[in-house]
Amino acid sequence: MAESNRLSRELDTREKVERPKKWSPPQLLPEPNPEPGYGFRWIRLSTLGAADAINISSKLREGWEPVKASDHPEVQLMGGQSLRFPDSIEIGGLLLCKTPIEFTEQRDAYYRDQANTQMASVDNNFMRENDPRMPLFKERSSKVTFGKGF
């Protein structure tokens, strides 16, 4: 029988070439696998065991819909079933919901316009107090200067 230069199977193990494992802190709320065209958000159902019906009803009217646990089995194992929303994912009083990205973009534009309108109102009120002898400036930029070292 011819001798071979091969190593014994007992000496060839994967454990010797395996990378060392690294500990990482656990996630409190798992991220679902992304769906094209949808954004996800955890919405509060209750705080300290007391139901928050106003919050969840306003979010449902805003266009958020509960995510089905059957659609995201990667999150289902970590969460429990909601009694109020069957076949959904609830963790610690938070319900996983989704909405089309167009809705979130429209909501962001609405609140951006609200903020711009409020800033314009504040500027108009501020500049109404303006006196030519002592003009007011509405400077919105900040500068970083360094001292001269007196």
Residues 23-55 pLDDT 10s: 777 777 888 888 899 999 999 988 888 888 999
Model pTM? Answer: 0.61
| pLDDT tens column, 71-112 | 888 776 555 555 678 888 888 888 999 999 999 999 999 999
SS3 of residue 97 by DSSP: strand
| pLDDT tens column, 16-29 | 566 778 877 777 78
**Spatial separation of the C-alpha atoms in residues 117 and 138, rounded to whole Å:** 16
Residue 55 vs residues 44, 60, 93, 110: alpha-carbon distances, Å: 7, 9, 12, 19
Sequence-ordered alpha helix ranges (H) in 2-132: 53-62, 73-76, 101-128
Q: How far, in whole angstroms, is CA 110 from its chain's centroid?
A: 19
Look at residue 91 in the predicted model and tell me its pLDDT: 85
Contact 89, 33 (CB under 8 A): no
